[in-house]
Chain A
Amino acid sequence: MSSSEAHAAAEHPHNPHLAHHFDTIEKQDTAVRLGMWLFLGTEVLLFAGLFLGYTVYRHFYHHTWHEASRTLDLGLGALNTVVLITSSFTVAMAFYFIKKGKTGACAGMLVLTILFALAFLVVKSIEYSHKFAEGALPGQFYHFNEVPGPGANLFYTVYFLATGLHAFHVIVGMSILIWVLVRVLKGHFSPSYYIPVELGGLYWHLVDLVWIFLFPLLYLI
């Protein structure tokens, strides 16, 4: 019975983005979004293990971790938080603009987002180099005398692992946004097709979400 196909053909005579196994572009978009949210769910569960490690060892070594947390540079950490939140704002604006067909503005917002991501990485590497110089390193490399005692090295272990995995995701997210930017500049997107911009933005928001939790847990308590 072919009324479904005839209907689809009438509404979308030839949508080049419609895959053959989806009846309509709306269904395809719904599917793609659900797929992306599922993937974000897996990323949440991936970081869960590190948050668990954090929670466990903070519980064991409460006092030492409080001391160790004070050795992190709150100013730089707060700056990074502002940077990421603003980058989330700019990528949301990029999505808003492409839906309105304003390709130039969208590209501009994406450029800003990518620059903010770079700024985040630069600040992070400054913080890391400080820690390397002080000797506040994970595990056996730990020789930071200002915070002695059992559990201090574990703070820096969790710190480096969590922020390291996060930074890896920043790099991945940045790469995705660069690819999306290239396609925006090439004119691939329009108010009737913008889903890659949306999905790239969703991934970037997740990167921001993880940091929203990492920041207070590592720097503030």
Chain B
Amino acid sequence: MSQSDDKPPTFPAVHYLNADRGVWSWLTTVDHKRIGIMYFVSVLLAFLLGGIFAMLLRIEHLTPEPTIMGANTYNRMFTLHGVVMIFMFMIPAIPGVFGNFLLPLMLGAKDVAFPKLNLLSLYLYWAGATLAASGMIMGGTDTGWTFYAPYSTSTPTTLFPVLLGVFIMGFSSILTGLNFIVTIHTLRAPGMGWMRIPLFVWAIYATSIIQVLATPVIGLTVMLVGIEKVGHFGLFDPTRGGDPVLFQHMFWFYSHPAVYIMVLPAMGVISEVIGAFSRKNIFGYKMIAYSSLGIAFVGFFAWGHHMFVSGQSVLDNGAFAAISMLVGVFTAIKVFNWVATLYKGSIAVKTPMLYACGFLFFIVFGGMTGIAVATVSLDVHWHDTYFVVAHFHFIMVGAVIMAFLAAMHYWFPKMFGRNYHEGWGMVAACFIILGFNATFIPQFLVGNAGMPRRYFIYPERFTSLNVASTAGSSLLAFGFVIIVFYMIYALVRGPIAGDNPWSSRGYEWNTPSPPPKHNFDTTPIIDRDAHSYQEPGEEVEHVVI
């Protein structure tokens, strides 16, 4: 289990990274771990692209009048930022990278159920991302990532490659979700009943259900937008008898559950990290597991809260508002259970734990502002202002990206067998957490004061808050830059970590780090619960890791 203090940590001679050599062996691999690493590189590139456009938007907002760009360019930039961040980073990141890498390891399996389909998912992601990104950059798409009709069906800017790219990426997402569901159902090791699977696996399971059920609807919707743009058949065009709000219903039927595709895996990561870094059995395992399913389920019924001011009926407004608040209940269940896990635990103050604590802070405030905007009477004031922008960035950046970084640091030794520099990790975490707050808290204030979103200029009285937000974003960006440097250093010259440097009880740590190509020589037998650090009644073990 844990490494003994006197023996130096070992590094396996042959592992999944060096088992086969050459670029071709990577491009045609069916090894879930290699596919996870390729997703890793890809989503980081996507994050870089989306982040550059975010910084450009923030620079534009340094002054109330046009700073570095005009109106049309601004529209193109926020479209790019949104599409890249959502479809090329947020949706695939944690499932594609950590789901792929860890799921079979956590289940005691040798691979996912359909390894070749897994590779196809990766190819589709690459194809869709390239299409969409090049379409936007070369064609100047300016509809926003929400492609609302009737503007999307009549904009002179390029839309087809973007729509097709989104469709193809959606297909990738569906196949990944399908693969994961079948893997969890059929490839659990003997002894691993449903109540023994790690909480990260529960989270991925719930996420995969959403991916499979919701994504086809967006596939159809973008297809219809493309057809409408060419044919002007009138599906969403009021001059031909159509209803533009129908587009919004269809779009948000996917795009709201999509945010749970983003957040559920993040919550799964946090369950793993909090358990490992408080060295305590997870409090309320069943509640956390069921609440993942609950969020996935209820999340399907809440899409109309994006449409409160679109002309949707009062009845639907009220119903969607009430259901949206229910999601908060499930989230709160998780937060209370995590805090109860931390209570009287042996807390290890390491970088993953810092990010986990950041996550807890951001999910609470992001979630509470979510309840606030779910209140119809308040959202009438806040809709399409920076208040909503700040709310969803609190969740998507504050919560999900903190979880991504926590996962990256927690499982870095597992994936590469080396340790990153803990001191620099903490420095970067501080920059990121503080920078994030400095970026987005002013946006709550300025949004509440009435600054609309997606406008390239704003009234003078909002200047100081915008400047503060941009200053914060540079801190945030700086934090990411620090991470890039010490992580690359750790990859090539980091100290050997050994099989289980965190002394974690996660099943995935039972293999060498980095793991061998086929994970296990023989199928392991599971004889204990996941996240089990103590027997019932046993005291928490206080160790320094």
Task: List chain A positions with a Cβ less than 8 A from chain B.
Answer: 1-2, 4-5, 19-23, 27, 30-31, 34-35, 38-39, 41-43, 45-50, 52-53, 56-57, 60-61, 138-141, 150-151, 153-154, 157-158, 161
Question: Which residue from chain B places its CB closest to the CB of A158 in the assembled complex?
Answer: B235
Known A-B contacts A31-B185, A34-B181, A39-B178; the reply to A53 vs B212 at CB < 8 A is no
4 extra interface residue pairs, beta carbon distance < 8 Å, beyond A22-B186, A34-B185: A46-B216, A57-B242, A153-B240, A154-B233
Interface-forming stretch among B193-201, B280-288, B410-418, B518-526? Answer: B518-526
27 residue pairs A–B, Cβ–Cβ below 8 Å: A1-B524, A4-B190, A5-B523, A27-B186, A31-B186, A35-B178, A38-B178, A39-B178, A42-B178, A42-B212, A43-B216, A46-B216, A46-B220, A47-B220, A48-B217, A49-B224, A49-B250, A53-B235, A56-B243, A57-B241, A60-B241, A139-B231, A139-B234, A153-B234, A153-B241, A154-B240, A158-B235
B542 at interface, CB cutoff 8 A: no
For the complex, give the distance between the alpha carbons of A197 and B225 in Å.
36
Determine whether B215 belongs to the interface, using a CB cutoff of 8 Å to chain A: yes
Shortest Cβ gap from A107 to chain B (Å) = 27
Q: How far is the CA of A31 from the CA of B231 in the complex (A)?
A: 42
Residue of A with least CB distance to B228: A139
Q: Which residue of A lies closest to B208 (CB)?
A: A38
* A140 touching B231 in the complex, CB below 8 Å, given contacts A5-B522, A21-B110, A21-B111: yes
Residue among B212, B220, B231, B243 making CB contact with A38, cutoff 8 Å: B212
Query: What is the distance, in angstroms, from A216's C-beta to the closest C-beta of chain B?
Result: 21
In Å, the complex CA distance between A5 and B522 comes to 7
Q: How far is the CB of B106 from chain A (nearest CB, A)?
A: 14
Chain A residues positioned under 8 Å from B243 (CB to CB): 56, 60
Given A1-B525, A34-B185, A52-B250: A46 in contact with B219 (beta carbons within 8 A): yes
Name the residue on B nearest A139 (C-beta). B233
* Residues B67-117 near A (CB distance < 8 A): 104, 109-115, 117
Q: Roughly how many angstroms separate A39 CA and B171 CA in the complex, as a whole number?
A: 11
Contact A23 B523 (CB under 8 A): yes
The complex places the Cα of A34 from the Cα of B109 at a distance, in Å, of 18
Residues of B within 8 A of A (CB): 104, 109-115, 117, 174, 178-179, 181-183, 185-187, 190, 212-217, 219-221, 224, 227, 231-235, 240-243, 246, 249-250, 518, 522-525
**With A38-B212, A49-B221 as given contacts, are A31 and B182 in contact (CB-CB < 8 Å)?**
yes
Q: A41 CB to closest chain B CB, in angstroms? A: 6
Point out the residues of chain B lying under 8 angstroms from A139, CB to CB: 231-234, 240
Contact check, B216 vs A154: say whether CB atoms are below 8 A apart: no
Q: Which residues of A contact B221 (CB under 8 A)?
A: 49
Q: Is the CB of A42 within 8 A of B109?
A: no
Name the CB-closest residue of A to B109.
A21
Q: How many A-B residue pairs have CB under 8 A?
A: 125
Knowing A5-B523, A31-B187 touch, does A154 contact B235 (C-beta < 8 A)? yes
**B232 CB contacts on chain A under 8 angstroms:** 139-140
Query: Known: A20-B518, A35-B114, A56-B246. Contact between A42 and B215, CB under 8 A?
Result: yes
Instruction: Determine which of A22, A31, A161 lies in contact with B227 in the assembled complex, contact meaning CB atoms within 8 Å.
Output: A161
List residues of chain B with CB within 8 A of the CB of A61: 241
Taken together as a complex, chains A and B put the C-alpha atoms of A161 and B250 apart, in Å, by: 16
Contact A34 B518 (CB under 8 A): no
Q: A153-B234, A157-B234 are in contact. Are A21 and B182 (CB under 8 A)?
A: no
From the candidates A4, A43, A154, name the one contacting B242 in the complex (CB within 8 A).
A154
Residues of A within 8 A of B227 (CB): 161
Q: How far is the CA of A141 from the CA of B232 in the complex (A)?
A: 9
A18 to chain B, nearest CB (A): 12
Closest 10 CB pairs of A and B: A139-B233, A21-B110, A49-B220, A46-B216, A45-B216, A31-B186, A138-B233, A21-B111, A157-B233, A150-B241
Task: Output the nearest chain A residue to B236 by Cβ-Cβ distance.
Answer: A53
Contact between chains at A38 and B250 (CB < 8 Å):
no
A35: B residues at CB distance < 8 A: 113-114, 117, 178-179, 182
Find chain A residues with CB under 8 A from B524 CB: 1
Distance, CA A50 to CA B227, complexed state (A): 13
- Give, as a whole number of angstroms, the nearest-CB distance from B319 to chain A: 17
Give the distance in Å from the alpha carbon of A52 to the alpha carbon of B249 in the complex: 10
Of chain B, the residue at the smallest CB distance from A39 is: B178
Q: Which of A4, A5, A45, A60 is in CB contact (< 8 Å) with B213? A: A45
Contact of B182 among A34, A140, A154 (CB under 8 A): A34
Least CB separation from B237: chain A residue: A139
Chain B residues with Cβ under 8 A from A38's Cβ? 178, 181-182, 212
Smallest Cβ-Cβ distance to B114: which chain A residue: A35
A42 to B218, CA, bound (A): 11
Q: What's the Cα separation between A86 and B121 when bound, in Å? A: 35
With a cutoff of 8 Å between Cβ atoms, the chain A residues found around residue B214 in the complex are 45
Q: Which of chain A's residues has its CB closest to B104's CB?
A: A21
Q: How far is the CB of B522 from chain A (nearest CB, A)?
A: 5
Alpha-carbon separation in the docked complex, A155 to B233 (Å): 10
Return the contact of B110 from the options A1, A20, A45, A53 (Cβ within 8 A): A20
Residues on the B chain within 8 Å of A34, using CB:
181-182, 185-186
- In the assembled complex, the CB of B405 is this many whole angstroms from the nearest CB of chain A, namely 31
